[in-house]
């Protein structure tokens, strides 16, 4: 089962993606950055799930949360880039 938080990310992300892609002709950079962002998101969800189920394994306990935090920060950066690309495209 997906956690409620992950389900919300996927649902809102899918809605935003459909809305953005249908609303205007976007530069090729938009889908490229979007695919990278979604890929990192899925990677983060997989690592988070593993950290949860394997929390008793000492070797995994410390590295994974830092890795997760790092990936999360990169995803927020990509979301900001997507917004900039999108706003630029609809302004033109």
Name the site residues for ligand HEM (rule: CB under 6 A): 9-10, 13-14, 16-17, 20, 34, 37-38, 41-42, 72, 75-76, 79, 82-83, 86
Distance of CA 62 to the CA centre of its chain: 22
Name the packing angle between helices 4-23 and 63-91 (round to 10°).
20
Q: Which residues contact 74 (CB under 8 A, 6 or more apart)?
A: 40
Least CB distance from residue 76 to ligand HEM, whole Å? 5
Q: Which residue, 64 or 86, has its beta carbon nearer to ligand HEM? A: 86
In the bound complex, what is the minimum distance in angstroms from residue 65's beta carbon to ligand HEM? Answer: 14
18 vs 57, beta carbon nearer ligand HEM: 18
Nearer to ligand HEM among residue 52 and residue 57 (C-beta): 52
The secondary structure of 40-72 as a DSSP string is: HHHHHHHHHHHHHHTTT-HHHHTHHHHHHHHHH
């Amino acid at each position: 089962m997906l956690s409620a938080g992950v389900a919300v990310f996927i649902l809102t992300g899918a809605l935003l993606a459909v809305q953005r892609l249908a609303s205007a002709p976007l530069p090729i950079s938009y889908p490229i950055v979007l695919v990278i962002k979604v890929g990192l998101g899925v990677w983060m969800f997989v690592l988070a799930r593993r950290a949860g189920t394997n929390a008793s394994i000492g070797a995994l306990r410390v590295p994974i949360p830092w890795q997760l935090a790092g990936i999360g920060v990169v995803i927020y950066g990509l979301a900001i880039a997507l917004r900039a690309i999108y706003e630029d495209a609809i302004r033109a």
